[in-house]
Structure 1
Amino acid sequence: LFAQGITGYEPVKANRRAMLEELRTGDGRPLPNHITRQIERELDRLEMVMAQIDEVNKVREAMLPTVEAEETAKAPRLLLQLRGIGPEFAGTLYSEGFYRHFANRRQVAAYAGLVPSPWRSGTIDREQGVSKAGNKRLRTTMIQVAWLWLRHQPGSELSQWFNQRVQDGGGRIRRVMIVAMARKLLIALWQFCTAGVVPKGAILKAA
């Protein structure tokens, strides 16, 4: 559409097909028929994906109340109280990790593969980064949550810790430190779900 001089068309809106018929090119002509048919096929695929997303959301929303009703599974309801964490993240963190029992913080980090992986040989002793030996989906989700935490919880102790360590640093140091922050945040969220300890400086959503 942009190549035809058209801007502002929003295919995710409910009136996407009606609006398509009203579009005019930059010089005032109706869209050529073959372009209209091509876009309609793209809309068919888009609507199929949107329907699948709606179905997944309904399953998730049906699952969370059931989970919350269990005395031993309060994690989703508690996580939803924190600014920056929505139903998708709350459900994933519970189903991929917090439904399990962990004896200590190191077990939590190890399960997600976010513990350091030391390497020793003779007089050489250094870290090789995180082990990545745990739950990949939980680890990936926590890194996404960590980036959003910086945006929605800028005044928290963890966000300040991250910002102090990446001052004047490039993209590489930010990518390294966000993994370290994801480990700390995972432990903080686990403590919040199990002991009710709110992460320092974190803001809860309004009731």
Structure 2
Amino acid sequence: MPVTRQPEKPTAIRTHLGAIFVSLELSRSKWLITSLLPGGGEKMSKHMVTAGDVADLLARFAELKRRAEARSGTYLPIIVIQEAGLDGFWIHRLLEAEGIESYVVDPASIATSRRRRRAKTDKIDGEALVRALLAYKRGEPRVCAMLWVPTPKEEDRRRIARERKALTNERTRHINRLKGLLFAQGISGYEPLRRDRRERLEELKTGDGRPLPVHLKRQIGRELDRLELLIDQIKAVEAERDAMLAAEQAVSPAPAMLLALKGIGPEFTAVLCSEGLSRHYDNRRQLAAYAGLAATPWKSGAIDHEQGVSKSGNPKLRTTLVQMAWLWVRHQPRSALTLWFKERVKQNDGRLKKTMIVALARKLLVALWKYVNVGVVIEGAIMTVA
């Protein structure tokens, strides 16, 4: 009986891409290394190392290279993928310094099962990352979203605006706590940010005419100590911000161009330059998507409605743009963007202002991007007097 050749079993995963594909599942205590060697079928190997043990990680990579070379007879590079998380970008930079091709992926962009209860383990997530990396290297469109990793200098520039935001939020909490303590005693109208806050504290009387209780007065004094410390720290951060903008104006005209527009001050300029406009975008859709201001339609059969903005981008940039849009309407009443906003609100009988202000924020971001990069002046915009 003649021997027939059995058909080769099809492989669901193409592993002959000439590389070793590795994913890193990072946690505070352990790092899970999931690897797929060429010619090994669909089986992926797992290896655990202690978190932060870079020497053990690189030793594991060297072992994978040795095994792949023994199997294929050729040298194969390693391609690594990891999720963006608490570890930041230092591991990515370390791998690139070692000559290893590395990618950082947005974990929310990887497709997952839509079951109501789906299994989730580090093993499953590690294999999913490897499959996403394979699809990405094969050139499959929209399989996942790889992050643009900023340089250490670009990453450090963002800290000033973000620290100021954290400090101002903390200042607001202390002010509200102080007002709440006094309001419980029948006292209103006390402003902790005034310079005479301590002198006015001595004059306060409760609603029934008594002086402030001893322990309450001491608690308010300690709250004022913390508040004054925050005020000094905010001033120091703002001084650093202004110095940074002054230094950037010698290299790039963007800060000076933004500051020349009425309604845009140093804080808005610092956020725009460090969070959004410093990056390269191919078109306005990429810009709006990065800020989380891209539209998200829902279309299926006869169903066709808009769900609002995606909110999947940079939250700091998006919040700043919405605040800037409200101020733009106030300080730039004759600009084309403000007139468009007022006309749309008028068409809705004065309703949907919040919805329209988000749309204005998206238009304003695109207009500022064109203004800074190409020099397209915003129609009707008022410039500040030098």
Letter of the structure 2 residue corresponding to residue 151 of structure 1: R
Letter of the structure 2 residue corresponding to residue 110 of structure 1: A
Once the two structures are superposed, the pairs formed by residues 24-63 of structure 1 within 5 Å of their partners are 30-63=211-244
Structure 1 runs not aligned, ≥5 long = none
Identify, as 1 or 2, the structure richer in strand: 2
After TM superposition, the score normalised by the length of structure 2 is 0.48
Provide the rounded CA distance (Å) in 2 between the counterparts of 1:191 and 1:123: 37
Residue 161 of structure 1: aligned partner: 340
Q: How much does 1:111 deviate? A: 1.8
Residue 360 of structure 2: aligned partner: 181
Residue 109 of structure 1: aligned partner: 288
Identify, as 1 or 2, the structure richer in helix: 1
Structure 2 runs not aligned, ≥5 long = 1-181
Residue 319 of structure 2: aligned partner: 140
| CA spacing shift, 1:31–1:126, aligned 2, 3 Å | closer
- SS of the equivalent of 2:307 reads strand
| Higher relative contact order, structure no. (Cα contacts within 8 Å, ≥ 6 residues apart) | 1
Q: How many residues align?
A: 203
| CA spacing shift, 1:4–1:131, aligned 2, 3 Å | closer
Q: How much does 1:37 deviate? A: 1.7
Cα deviations across residues 57-106 of structure 1 (Å, max 9, x unaligned)? Answer: 12211211122121xx3222211111111100100011001111223222
Q: How much does 1:181 deviate? A: 0.7
Higher alpha-carbon Rg: 2
Q: How much does 1:140 deviate? A: 1.4
Provide the rounded CA distance (Å) in 1 between the counterparts of 2:223 and 2:377: 45
Cα deviations across residues 134-179 of structure 1 (Å, max 9, x unaligned)? Answer: 2221111111110111111122111111111112233xx1111111
**Are residues 1:195 and 2:374 paired?**
yes
Provide the rounded CA distance (Å) in 1 between the counterparts of 2:206 and 2:303: 66
> In angstroms, what is the RMSD of aligned CA positions?
2.3
% same residue = 61
Provide the rounded CA distance (Å) in 1 between the counterparts of 2:210 and 2:290: 60
Letter of the structure 2 residue corresponding to residue 174 of structure 1: K
**Are residues 1:64 and 2:281 paired?**
no
Provide the rounded CA distance (Å) in 1 between the counterparts of 2:290 and 2:218: 50
Provide the rounded CA distance (Å) in 2 between the counterparts of 1:184 and 1:45: 40
- SS of the equivalent of 1:120 reads strand
- SS of the equivalent of 1:83 reads coil
| CA spacing shift, 1:81–1:125, aligned 2, 3 Å | same
Provide the rounded CA distance (Å) in 2 between the counterparts of 1:123 and 1:83: 46
Letter of the structure 2 residue corresponding to residue 130 of structure 1: V
